[in-house]
Amino acid sequence: MLIPLDMLKPGEWADVAEVGGDSAWVVRLAELGLREGCRLQVLQPGSTCLLKIANCRLCLRSGESSQILVMPVRG
């Protein structure tokens, strides 16, 4: 089941299924490592959330994170 990124709870792992939004923004996120197929963990939830992707920590706002659909997986 795909859910928006901002619905994940702290500590949960997920695979990114789809990154929505303006294409330049999608490329920007991809450059930062957030792209379809990557695995992430939510470190801090909320409207500005903190994610761990590979060895990087990214923070983004819910407006942006709700456009990202993920498939929750077990860490």
Partner 1 sequence: MTPNTITVALVGNPNAGKSTLFNALSGLRQQVGNYPGVTVEMKKGHFTVGDIRVNLIDLPGTYSLAARSPDELVAVDLLLGRLPDEPAPDVVLSIVDASNLDRHLYLTTQLLELGKPVVVAVNMVDLAATQGIGVDCAALSRDFGIPFLPVQANRGVGLDVLQEKLLEAAKSGTAPEPLALPAALEHETTRLVVKLGTAVSPFQARRLILDVNGATEQWFVAKLGDGLSQSLGEIRARLAAAGCPVPAVEARTRFARIREVVAKCVSKPTIRPVNRTDRIDRVLTHRLWGSLFFFAVLFLVFVSIFWAAKPLMDLIDQATKWLSSLVEGAMPVGPLRSLITSGIIAGVGGVLKFLPQILILFAFIAVLEDCGYMARAAFLMDRIMSRCGLSGKSFIPLLSSVACAIPGIMATRVIENRRDRLATILVAPLISCSARLPVYGLMISLFLPAEIYSALTQGLMLFGMYMVGFIAAPVVSLVLRKTLLRGERSLFVMELPAYKRPSPPMILRRVIDAGWSFVRRAGTVILATMILVWAALYFPHNSPDGFGFDERAEVLSDVAKSTDDDVRDKLGDKPIESELAKLGLDVTKPPEEIREEAGKRARATKAEHQRQSYLGRTGRALEPVFEPLGWDWRIGVAALASFPAREVIVGTMAILYEVEVDENNDPLVSAIRADWDTSSVRGRHRIPVALSVMVFFALCCQCASTLAVIHRETRSWLWPTFTFVYMTVLAYAGAFVVFQVGRLIWN
Q: Site residues (CB under 8 A) for partner 1? A: 21-35, 43-44, 46-48, 50, 52, 54-61, 63-64, 75
What is the nearest approach in angstroms of partner 1 to the Cβ of residue 48? 4
69 three-class SS: strand
Residue with smaller CB distance to partner 1, 3 or 43: 43
| Strands 3-4, 56-61: pairing kind | unpaired
What is the nearest approach in angstroms of partner 1 to the Cβ of residue 64? 6
Residue with smaller CB distance to partner 1, 17 or 63: 63
